[in-house]
Amino acid sequence: MTMPAMPAAVTRFFTASQSGDADAWAGSFAADGVFHDPVGEPPIVGRAAIGEFIASVLPNFSPFLGLTPREAHTVGNRVAVAWSGAAVSLSGVPVNWSGINVYELDDAGLIREARAYFNRAIFQAQLNG
């Protein structure tokens, strides 16, 4: 699938999610980046902590198919992306969810802050279903 036009760090965020590469995924963030996953939960602060968080989530799925961007809108150093996610739980249950991420990039083009808007209850209900 062709991705919508997005700044390089945001494209890396999605590409790394699809390949399940926690280091590359975290590498799309600035060293002091902040990830709200989802908004309303305590933010994850710092590239290292973001990488640890992602690395802790991925082993819960086989496979984790990642996030696929559907639409992207860039204004200055801010980007809003509508996406869908897909994975299969370790017990074989398909999990599908969607949301919108809003990114703010730093002067180097890395993600300074990412806010993920999705309904965690819908995601969790599929795992518990």
Residues, the chain: 129
75 C-beta neighbours (distance < 10 Å), count: 7
Phi, psi of 50 (to 5 degrees): -65, -45
Omega into 63 within 30° of 0, i.e. cis? yes
What global pTM score does this model have? 0.95
Helix (H) or strand (E) holding 68: strand 61-75
Whole-number pLDDT of residue 31: 98
Tens place of pLDDT for every residue, the chain, 129 residues? 578 999 999 999 999 999 999 999 999 999 999 999 999 999 999 999 999 999 999 999 999 999 999 999 999 999 999 999 999 999 999 999 999 999 999 999 999 999 999 998 998 898 876
How confident is the model at residue 1, as a pLDDT? 57
Measure the CA–CA gap between 72 and 97, rounded to whole angstroms. 17
